[in-house]
Amino acid sequence: MRHIKFTFWGALALLTVLWLAAEPTVFQTTGFFAFRGVIVQYTGIIAMAAMSIAMILALRPQWPERWFGGLDKMYRLHKWLGITALVVAVIHWLWSKGPKWAVGWGLLEPPVRGERPPLENTIEQFFLSQRGTAEGVGEWAFYAAVLLIALALIKYFPYRPFYKTHRLLAVVYLVLVFHTIVLTTFSYWMSPIGAVMALLLAAGTCAAVVVLLRLAGARRQVRGKIVSLQYYPGVKALEIEIEVLEGWPGHKPGQFAFAMSDSAEGAHPYTIASAWNEKDRRIIFITKQLGDHTSRLREKLNVGQEVRIEGPYGCFNFENGQPRQIWIGGGIGITPFIAGMKHLAQERHAHPDHPHPVIDLFHTTAEYDEQAITKLTEDAAAAGIRLHVLVDSRDGLLTGDRIRTAVPDWRNASIWFCGPAGFGEALRQDFAAQGLPVAKRFHQELFAMR
């Protein structure tokens, strides 16, 4: 989380500093309409820069993933940037339209405009000739962006229409690029802020085209075939075993991948619940009926059906050098730990003399399925992990005190959590209050892509 906060606030600060360098007299501006002009420019730059970076992140680039701590963290940054673009764009629109309304209502005197000096630069002349068009299409693109970003932030908006409508933001973005290029103060393009914006707009434009062509993540996609399906009615979970044909580079325990069985539905992220074995080339996903898509998977999937898998992604892989670890899986958040146990079992079998981490796994669940818990217990035994299963109605809620009582040497451990975000944050704060250096030793999967 530190890196995404640093990137978010650092980018906003850098853009602000560069803009102030291009507008050194901004605090000496006299007159309401002169001040309005510079504020419209500033808010436009911030909104488009945020949208450009968000568009680049939509490609799921691999190179910054380790810096951010995983694609899940990058998607959190993508969300923050989308909200920033929405809020700042609304401010930009209000500063642009509000004074015009006030003049029309007689609340403000219209600005006195002198004769515009002749322009010698042909590019600037062309931009001036396009101002009316840029303002018109930009306004309608703004309305579309507000609607589409708002829909993306509504978690109860079904995934299928979200998948279709969210891609339209790429079209809206391209229109807003034209709006920005034409209406940005021309002198900015000869300054550092202009160079940075030109780079962001160019990269964002390329990203938008890739998104529209449905090529995001295409280089990391492989074909697979479903070989088995197992449903656990007690926890409403479906286990999907897929044979990966060729091209899969292998994965680490705790990573996830995007799987697509229906092109109209798009790709969905699922944590991988299996260790990688080059000999049998199988990947297992476990999905829980939580939304409109996952609730229909039992009816839509069949053995022998072809799927596309993209990945692997994520850095939630239990690699931080701590020989003592505490794993906490809330509900379907147990999935990455299943992969971790299977990987440890393989390592123990292949290298019985090597030292292995000492691990306590806590699985807390509101639902119970005897078969699923039996398999979980067998996996824990094979991996040499001490398993604690807590059913909410029977055992009560899992708390930091209960974990510390069960694991007396918790101060020497790293904690890996996957489950409801609020539960994870509560545990983080609890352990921080007890002196655990949570910034280094509390690892949480932010498995929310919207």
Whether 177 and 204 have beta carbons less than 8 Å apart is answered as: yes
Q: Which CATH number fits domain 218-313: 3.40.50.300, 3.10.310.70, 1.20.1440.230, 2.40.30.10?
A: 2.40.30.10
pLDDT tens-place string over residues 130-167: 999 999 999 999 999 999 998 888 877 777 788 788 88
| pTM reported for the whole predicted model | 0.87
* Cβ(376)–Cβ(363) below 8 Å: yes
Radius of gyration of the chain from Cα atoms?
Answer: 26
List residues bridging with 243 in a β-sheet.
225, 282
Taking the C-alpha atoms of residue 331 and residue 159, their distance in angstroms, rounded to an integer, is 21
Q: How many CB atoms lie within 10 A of CB 111?
A: 13
Q: 2-212 and 324-444 share one CATH topology?
A: no
Q: Which CATH class is domain 324-444?
A: alpha beta
Instruction: Read off the tokens for 235.
Output: 């926890």
- Tell the CATH topology of 2-212: Four Helix Bundle (Hemerythrin (Met), subunit A) (1.20.120)
State how far the Cα of 359 lies from the Cα of 340, in Å rounded to an integer. Answer: 11
Are 194 and 299 in contact by the 8 Å Cβ rule? The answer is no
Distance of CA 365 to the CA centre of its chain: 25
Q: Which among 61, 62, 47, 56 has a CA at the least distance from the CA of 78?
A: 56
Q: Are 393 and 399 contacting, i.e. CB atoms less than 8 angstroms apart?
A: no
Sketch the domain layout of the chain as residue ranges: 2-212, 218-313, 324-444
- Reading the chain (450 residues) residue by residue, the pLDDT tens digits are 678 999 999 999 999 999 999 998 887 777 888 888 999 999 999 999 999 999 999 999 988 888 888 888 898 999 999 999 999 999 999 999 998 898 889 888 887 776 677 777 889 889 988 999 999 999 999 999 999 998 888 877 777 788 788 889 999 999 999 999 999 999 999 999 999 999 999 999 999 999 999 898 888 999 999 999 999 998 889 999 999 988 899 999 989 999 988 777 778 888 899 999 888 899 999 988 777 777 788 888 999 999 999 999 988 888 877 889 999 999 889 999 999 999 999 988 888 888 888 999 999 999 888 999 999 999 999 999 999 999 998 999 999 999 999 999 999 999 999 998 899 999 999 999 999 999 889 998 876 655
Residue 386, beta-bridge partner list: 360
What whole-number distance in Å separates Cα of residue 10 and Cα of residue 80?
Answer: 13
Per-residue pLDDT tens digits for 108-117: 888 777 667 7
Whole-number Å distance between alpha carbons of 130 and 134: 6
Q: Are strands 358-365 and 324-330 parallel, antiparallel or unpaired?
A: parallel
